[in-house]
Amino acid sequence: MLTRGYKVADERGDKMPRDAMGKMLTDLGAAVPKAEAVAEEATGPETGFRCARPGCPAGRHAHQLPAPPIEDAIGQRIYEEICASCWESWKKDYSVKVINELRLDLSAEFGAAEYDKYMKEYFGFEEPAAQV
């Protein structure tokens, strides 16, 4: 089951689940299938912008943002790597949940840093903190 899940995640470009299943396979002593680059998505008229966010539902039909959403280095990275759909999902849904559930005060240094940490994790810019 893990081997099949690994292959499906690899085909969809879901790197985090693929890598997690690869680790589980290694821990069980099973062979890890070779990750294959999806060559057909790099060509053809439907290619479009390729979003780098793990689990992006838009796939090869993603659309790039018209401009960086924030005027700093992270905004430029979002513009270059993240599709408009994922940005809207973060902005309208997940960012509000992060602020409300963690009761973040964005005017405080800690609140802003915590917000940025969750945003980077959502977009796959950082590995999530290991849970002990």
Buried b (16+ CB within 10 A) or exposed e, 62-97: bebbeeebeeeebeebbbebbbbbbbebbeeeebee
Q: 127 and 63, same structural domain?
A: yes
Q: 69 and 115, same structural domain?
A: yes
Q: 105 and 73, same structural domain?
A: yes
Note whether 54 and 15 are within 8 A (CB): yes
Q: Helical H runs in the chain?
A: 2-12, 15-27, 73-81, 84-89, 95-102, 109-123
Q: 17 and 29, same structural domain?
A: yes
The pLDDT assigned to 8 comes to: 85
Q: 29 and 1, same structural domain?
A: yes
Task: Report how far residue 83's alpha carbon sits from residue 81's, in angstroms, rounded to the nearest whole number.
Answer: 7
Per-residue pLDDT of 27-59, as tens digits, reads: 999 888 887 654 444 444 454 678 888 888 877
Domain extent, residue 60, equals 38-131
Task: Report how far residue 82's alpha carbon sits from residue 75's, in angstroms, rounded to the nearest whole number.
Answer: 10
Q: 4 and 18, same structural domain?
A: yes
Per-residue pLDDT of 103-120, as tens digits, reads: 999 999 999 999 999 999
User: How many separate domains does the chain show?
Assistant: 2
Q: 63 and 28, same structural domain?
A: no
Q: 13 and 47, same structural domain?
A: no
Per-residue pLDDT of 75-84, as tens digits, reads: 999 999 999 9
